[in-house]
Amino acid sequence: MQFRERRRVIQVIRTVYDPDLKRGRSELVGKIDKAAPLVTDKLQKSCTPEELSEILTYLDDRHNRLRNEAVRAGAETLPAQMRGAAEYFRTHRDDDARAFAMEIRLAWEELKTALRESGFSKSKLLKKAAERAEAPTLAVSTVAVQVAAEEVAEPAEVPPAKAFVRKPRARKAKTARVVALNTEVSKTDETGAPPAA
């Protein structure tokens, strides 16, 4: 069975061998409405039990895929929505805001629990963010301490690590031949002989 998703429907297509053409031919078995993806009685009567099973499997997979995409999109846009909600609560203090706040608090506790159970606890995430921010400066200062320890017997103060600054490359000067027009000097210079009168 093949399934073609069109604008509003999913076409269910069966390939049937045609002895006259000596090849397979596509045959439209039925349509499923995308808004309410259910197998109709007409479609159920025109399919074998194996085909019906294949249709139901396709619809389940499609439902799971769409749900996963929606959940991912929700997680992806959540930070922006939270910032918008923060702006809302800064400017509103009515009964609607109170009801929203209660619902958000419950959802926030559920989200924190899910993050913690998935291994994304607050302390771990903050620690990793701090490690990423300090990693380049830490490596430079460690090297400076090792070099200083090898050169000097007494411990010395290590100057703070400086950020690496790339020096601009010097550009080669381009020389261009400058020729003055309609002057005797330039004509003398070009040919090496004085101009003819």
Q: What is the DSSP string of 71-93?
A: HHHHHHHHHHHHHHHHHHHHH--
Domain assignment present for 84: yes
Residue range of the domain that includes 98: 2-119
Q: Residue 174: what pLDDT?
A: 57
Q: Residue 165: what pLDDT?
A: 55
Domain assignment present for 6: yes
Residue for token pair 């490690």: 131
Domain assignment present for 158: no
Domain assignment present for 8: yes
Positive or negative torsion for Cα 19, 25, 28, 34: positive
Q: Residue 149: what pLDDT?
A: 45
DSSP one-letter code for 194: P
Domain assignment present for 197: no
Count of C-beta atoms within a 10 Å radius of residue 54? 15
Kind and range of the H or E run holding 178: none
Tell me the per-residue pLDDT of 40-97, one tens digit each, with 9 for 90 and over.
999 999 999 999 999 999 999 999 999 999 999 999 999 999 999 999 999 999 999 9
Residues sharing a CB contact under 8 Å with residue 160, sequence separation 6 or more, in sequence order: 141
- Number of folded domains that form the chain: 1
The structure tokens listed for 14 are: 């069966």
pLDDT above 70: percentage of residues in the chain: 69
pLDDT above 90: percentage of residues in the chain: 55
Q: Residue 144: what pLDDT?
A: 46
Tell me the per-residue pLDDT of 110-125, one tens digit each, with 9 for 90 and over.
999 999 999 888 888 8
Q: Residue 111: what pLDDT?
A: 93
Domain assignment present for 161: no
Q: Residue 7: what pLDDT?
A: 92
Q: Residue 131: what pLDDT?
A: 86
Q: Is the pLDDT of residue 33 over 50?
A: yes
Domain assignment present for 56: yes
Tell me the per-residue pLDDT of 115-173, one tens digit each, with 9 for 90 and over.
999 988 888 888 888 888 887 654 444 444 454 444 444 444 545 555 555 556 656 65
Q: Residue 139: what pLDDT?
A: 47
Domain assignment present for 170: no
